[in-house]
Structure 1
Amino acid sequence: MLEVDVAAGSAVGCGMIGLVLTASAPRVGVEPFFIELISGMEEVLVPAGATVLLLVVHDLAAELATYARWAAEGTVDAVVVVNLVHDDVRPARLTLLGLPAVLAGRYAGPAALSSVVSDNAGAISAAMRLLRDLGHRRIGRVSGPAELVHTAERSATMLAYGQRLRVQVRIVEADYSAEAGVRAARRLLAEADPPTAIVFDNDVMAVAAEEELVRSGVEVPARVSLLACDDSTLCELAVPPMSALDIDVHEHGVTLGRAVLDVMRGGRRRVYPGPPVRIRRRGSTGPAPADRP
């Protein structure tokens, strides 16, 4: 278990905002998404005299135990919950413990908590439109864990969009890690009728897959176009540079920070819209192979 005050050096005695990640500590340390998310939160929280307390645990039981300990000891003033899953028990548990909380994602359960909701359906629709306009009719996707709510939203949107446009869609589940991204891309391209484009649910999987494909002689984008759902410096530095859906994770963190402050001040339950989706088309995405001279 790893516990870190990510704003060490800020005002002494300031309020604590808890953020628990259920993952391996090394992976969290290199995940650009969480780095940017916390940076955005801190941009709002630190001037208000608050700081983020980040805790990395291995499973749900440890996360729930952490909330109970924080509530009993008065360690934090509020909690941000990420990676919501179907039938998520955490919002109701936090309400029972009396811990104010803000949810990062769509929630349909009984707990009356504020949330910040990104347009996952809009993001995937934008990716599908781009690839369709480039002539791609077989599109693969390397998704995150299926139990996550935003993964299900993206999958449902992609399948519905593909059916409507008569585009073949193939989804392979992975876990956001570089190794899983490589394995999933290889699996898709080994099929009898492989996709001409692949969309990855994060930048780490996309860049790792691209590096492996290029190293093994698969031309990107001549043979297969690649696109990540998270933009980051990793995407910009990849060779060729990775196209990405830019949802401005930093701004998403800023919105979370504002929602937390509102909750701490006694604000009513609210659903805050996440930042808009933009496409950063770079060198990893091009016309479908049949459309090339």
Structure 2
Amino acid sequence: MAETSRPTIADVARRAGVSKGLVSFALNGRPGVSPASRERILDAARELGWSPSLRARSLSVGRSFACGLVIGRSPDVIAADPFFPSFIAGLEDVLSTSGQVLVLAAVTPGRHEEQTYRNLAHDKRVDGVILTDLRVADARVGLVEELGLAAVTLGVPDLASPFSSVSVDDGAGIRHAVEHLAELGHRDIAHVAGPEEMLHASRRARAFVETAEAHGMRGRVLTTDFSAAEGAAATRALLEGDAPPTAIVYSNDHMAVAGLGIAQRLGLTVPRDLSITGFDDTDLGRHLHPALTSVATDARAWGAVAARTLLEALAGTPATHLDLDEPTLVVRESTGPAPRRPRRSRGSTV
């Protein structure tokens, strides 16, 4: 379709039966549009095949109409973790219908990461960013503020922040998993956690320890980088050590899947000899044998809310703090009653 024949905002306004001004507000994610009107306008835009002319909009208002997501993890970990594809899909659900582009970068935390943010701001490639995997005393909060970018944090930082946040109770899912295991009679359990410097990982670990203590259970925590490889190594260390646990609570599903494989290689039957729980309730975990008991979160919805909140920040809305629904535990076949007799460690059969 030639540029001159592109549908315009005026065309969308006529189709939706509203003013051009209201269409502009809706398509740019600005407040002041009722949900029903916004949906009608977005439907009209999709029906007409309307898309923004980013070049013209950028030149007219001095904005890039792009939002950044800089993920400070190993590319291998990102590729294997199903949270990020779902989260990014949620971002795109909102950004794509609001005329925004998502700029994605995977970097090594530290100097390379800082320079990535500085380059994005200096080159005016993004108007705002979403900060994930918050860390203890996270320097990115002050850096992004210094660079003059709008931002939304996933979770509440442990230091003063001028930015909006979108949060899920990091510990609730782990508490549900430990309570479930306590009801099944387990008294010696372990948690394969993420990096201590990540706030959500440390909060999950703290919830594990506190809940285990409240139920009179022995609880051990092993930290990893969230990868399947380190999850497998932690599992082997637990199961081949003295007094192996009768249940392991993992901080994500793909570590739980790796742990299940290690347990089976060591000759254990899940859940007769060992119970296992995951986190994020991924599609793969539902189709394993045994199917994985896991904490269910809605990463795609989290992404959509984060994107809307960032668009509101770009429109000048004051900072706000949103709490999403608490995670739930989906009980499947990988958890069962604690073994009647303590199990001694077993050597590897491979």
Give the aligned partner of residue 216 of structure 2: 166
Give the aligned partner of residue 250 of structure 2: 200
- One-letter code of the match for 2:95? L
Q: CA deviation at 1:192?
A: 2.3
Q: CA deviation at 1:203?
A: 1.1
After superposition, what is the alpha-carbon deviation per residue over 1:103-136, rounded to whole angstroms, capped at 9, x for unaligned? 0122131231111111112111111111111111
Q: CA deviation at 1:29?
A: 2.1
- Measured in 1, the distance between the counterparts of 2:299 and 2:325 equals 8
- One-letter code of the match for 2:154? A
Distance 1:212 1:192, change over 3 A: closer
Percent identity, aligned pairs only? 33
1:82 to 2:132 alignment: yes
Give the aligned partner of residue 229 of structure 1: 279
Give the aligned partner of residue 146 of structure 2: 96
- Measured in 2, the distance between the counterparts of 1:15 and 1:206 equals 39
- One-letter code of the match for 1:289? P
Answer yes or no: is the 8 Å Cα contact 1:16–1:75 preserved in 2.
yes
Answer yes or no: is the 8 Å Cα contact 1:176–1:205 preserved in 2.
yes
After superposition, what is the alpha-carbon deviation per residue over 1:28-48, rounded to whole angstroms, capped at 9, x for unaligned? 223201001111111122111
Give the aligned partner of residue 34 of structure 1: 84
Match of 1:60 among 110, 113, 117: 110
Answer yes or no: is the 8 Å Cα contact 1:252–1:275 preserved in 2.
no
Q: CA deviation at 1:193?
A: 1.9
TM-score (ref. length: structure 2):
0.77
Q: Rg bigger for which structure? A: 2
Match of 1:276 among 319, 322, 326: 326
Match of 1:49 among 99, 103, 121: 99
Distance 1:65 1:40, change over 3 A: same
Answer yes or no: is the 8 Å Cα contact 1:92–1:110 preserved in 2.
no
Q: CA deviation at 1:83?
A: 0.6
Answer yes or no: is the 8 Å Cα contact 1:211–1:239 preserved in 2.
no
Deviates more, 1:161-170 or 1:22-31: 22-31
Q: CA deviation at 1:231?
A: 1.2
Secondary structure at the aligned position of 1:120 is classed as: coil
Give the aligned partner of residue 169 of structure 2: 119
Answer yes or no: is the 8 Å Cα contact 2:77–2:226 preserved in 1.
no
Secondary structure at the aligned position of 2:171 is classed as: helix
Deviates more, 1:15-24 or 1:140-149: 15-24
Answer yes or no: is the 8 Å Cα contact 2:256–2:277 preserved in 1.
yes
- Measured in 2, the distance between the counterparts of 1:53 and 1:19 equals 6
Q: C-alpha root-mean-square deviation of aligned residues, in Å?
A: 1.6
After superposition, what is the alpha-carbon deviation per residue over 1:239-259, rounded to whole angstroms, capped at 9, x for unaligned? 211110001111111111121
Answer yes or no: is the 8 Å Cα contact 2:236–2:262 preserved in 1.
no
- Measured in 2, the distance between the counterparts of 1:89 and 1:106 equals 14
Q: CA deviation at 1:274?
A: 2.4
TM-score (ref. length: structure 1):
0.92
- Measured in 2, the distance between the counterparts of 1:55 and 1:113 equals 21
Would you tell me which structure has more strand in proportion to its own residues? 1
- Measured in 2, the distance between the counterparts of 1:187 and 1:274 equals 35
Answer yes or no: is the 8 Å Cα contact 1:248–1:275 preserved in 2.
no
Answer yes or no: is the 8 Å Cα contact 2:136–2:158 preserved in 1.
no
Q: CA deviation at 1:67?
A: 1.1
Unaligned runs of 5+ in 2: 1-50, 55-63, 342-350
Match of 2:181 among 131, 134, 137: 131
Aligned length: 282
- Measured in 1, the distance between the counterparts of 2:229 and 2:249 equals 16
Match of 2:70 among 4, 10, 20: 20
Q: CA deviation at 1:91?
A: 0.6
- One-letter code of the match for 2:96? V
- One-letter code of the match for 2:311? L
Alignment of 1:176-255 (within 5 A): 176-255=226-305
